[in-house]
Structures are given as C-alpha cells and as structure tokens.
Amino acid sequence: MKPVQEEQRWVAQFVQWARHSPKYRALDLPETLLTDIMTHALKRYTKPAQALAAARRILHQVVAPYLGDPDYIQAAQALENAARQGEEAVRQVCWHLLQQHASTRERLPFLEAFYQRLFGVTGVPATILDLACGLNPLAWPWMGLPREIRYLAFDIHNPRVQLIRRFFELMGIHGQAFHRDILVEPPWDQAEVAFFFKEIHRFEERQPGCARSFLQAIPARWLLISLPTRSLSQKRDLLPIHRRLMNRILDGLGWNVQEVLFENEVVFCVDKG
C-alpha cells in the first residue's frame, strides 16, 4: 500500500499535468474526474509511474478528442445569429454543429426517426437526464418534445456545457447543463428518461465494473443506453461485443430490456420499473 501523502502527491501531479496540458487545458475538466482517474490508477498499479501513464491513457479515452469538436465560441455566436432569424436557421446551425462530432454525426441520417422510435417505447417524458451528453442536446429540434419538459444535461467538457446553456436560453427550453463527472457525482433529479449514448463502454474502460452500480444510482425509470454497432472505420462489427457487454452489466438486475436497432447504433431501452 502506498503512503497516503505519496498518493496525494501523485494525484496532484496528474491534476496539474492535465490542467496545463495543451491537449486538455481549454476543456476545464472537473477536478473530481482527474482525481478519480489517478486514484484508481494508483490502486491498480504498484509503480506510480505506471499508474500515471495509465491515467493519461484513460483520460484520453474519457475525453475522446479523436471524436471531434466545434469551435465553441464561434458555435455560440452562430446560434445567437440564427436565433434572430428564426427556428429554421437554428435547425441549420444545429445540424452543422452535430456534424462536428463523430458520435452525433453518425446519427444524422436517421435523427428524427431515432427519437420517434425511442419515445415510442418510453412515452413522452416530463424530465430527461442527458448523461455525458456531448452535443446531443443540440438535436432538440428533431426530438419532437414540448418546450416545457425539463432537460438536464451533464458533461465534463466546460466549453460544451456553456454552449448548451446558451442554446437552452436561446430556444426557451426549460433546461440546465451541468459541468460534472457523473461517475463520481451521479445526478439526483428524478426523471422518466435518462439518455446514456455511446458512453457506457468508455465508463467500463475507465473503471472496470463501474457501470452496473452507476446505472443503479441513476434516478430514472427508463435508461436509454446506446452503443455503436460498427467501429469508427466501419470495418469492425461491434454488435455482438456490445450485446455481451450489456448482458454482463444487467445480468440479475431484473430490469426489462427492449432493443432498438438502427443502421449503426443499438439502443438498449431499460425499464427499471
């Protein structure tokens, strides 16, 4: 066992590295996230240098910079300009921004049908939790939801959170966006539906075995958990792997699960009852 003071020193070193790294400093990542990643790495590796290297790899997977991001200052300005022109202009800007991130770009060919099919399973919710939301809240114009619903979005990327807050204001949506590591601090607001799109496999990579207790902690009746069915290169079939992952996570919980399959994404609609 590493002495507490030594462990704290390595955690502080990792936090400072991430805070000043050209790759991450603009993201203003939550300190709870950075502390949690390094603390768990120190538990898994006997040598602190190995733990530090592992923590850096895990952070890269969690932040997923390879998926892409818009320029958030320009994006906010574009939304503000579009809002003065009307809803169709806002839709066009949102579509353009959704193209900037691989996770939402892959969904664009069936975007409207995606939400129609999911809400056909769950019904129209009064409150949505969008967990590790990415740019997904910008798909609001295609969700077919009334503006009075509560939409609570959570992400570790602060510039993204600020953009989503501005989007909610401009659209008159009853929404909030939180800069939070939901694995360390799960939401406490009750909801009918929680989105958890294309993230559960990254949670398991970050902290093996964490997903089961995390899902149990989410205060929503329906968990809509999606996973890609193809790799980013489109060369690898991921559906069997991700079905096994979900079966392992949900085994023995007694929740009802419906699978909704799209051309490159599968959604496990989990009814917690």
Please report the beta strands in 159-240, taking only residues with DSSP state E, as ranges in sequence order: 175-179, 191-197, 220-228
Mean pLDDT, residues 74-88 taken together: 96
- Mean pLDDT across the chain: 94
45 has pLDDT over 60:
yes
Q: Over pLDDT 70: what percentage of the chain?
A: 98
> With 70 as the cut, is the pLDDT of residue 151 above it?
yes
Which of helix, strand or coil describes residue 230?
strand
226's tokens: 């999606």
Over residues 208-226, the pLDDT tens digits come to: 999 999 999 999 999 999 9
8 A C-beta contact, residue 41 and residue 51: yes
Provide the angle, in degrees to the nearest 10, between the axes of the packed helices 4-20 and 31-44.
130
Q: What is the pLDDT of residue 1?
A: 47
Could you tell me the pLDDT band of residue 273, with boundaries at 50, 70 and 90?
confident
pTM (2 d.p.): 0.94
Mean pLDDT of 252-260: 96
The radius of gyration of the chain from alpha carbons, rounded to an integer in Å, stands at: 19
**Residue 172 is inside which H or E element, if any?**
none
- As beta bridge partners, residue 268 has 225, 259
Element spanning 50, H or E: helix 48-63
pLDDT at 232 over 80: no
More confident residue, 235 or 61: 61
Instruction: Name the helix (H) or strand (E) containing 99.
Output: none
> Which tokens sit at 63?
């932040």
What pLDDT shows up at residue 5? Answer: 81
Cβ-based neighbours of 4, under 8 Å, separated by 6 or more: none
Question: Is the separation of the CB atoms in 223 and 270 below 8 Å?
Answer: yes
CA–CA distance, 47 with 124 (Å, rounded to integer)? 51
**The pair of three-digit structure tokens given for residue 54, joined into one six-digit string:** 């592992």
Both tokens of 22, joined, read 């050209």
pLDDT at 52 exceeding the cut of 70: yes
Answer whether residue 7 shows pLDDT above 90.
Answer: no
pLDDT at 167 over 70: yes
Rounded to an integer, what distance in angstroms lies between the CA atom of residue 196 and that of residue 208?
17
pLDDT band, residue 2 (cuts 50/70/90): low
Reported as a single tens digit per residue, the pLDDT across 101-142 is 998 999 999 999 999 999 999 999 999 999 999 999 999 999
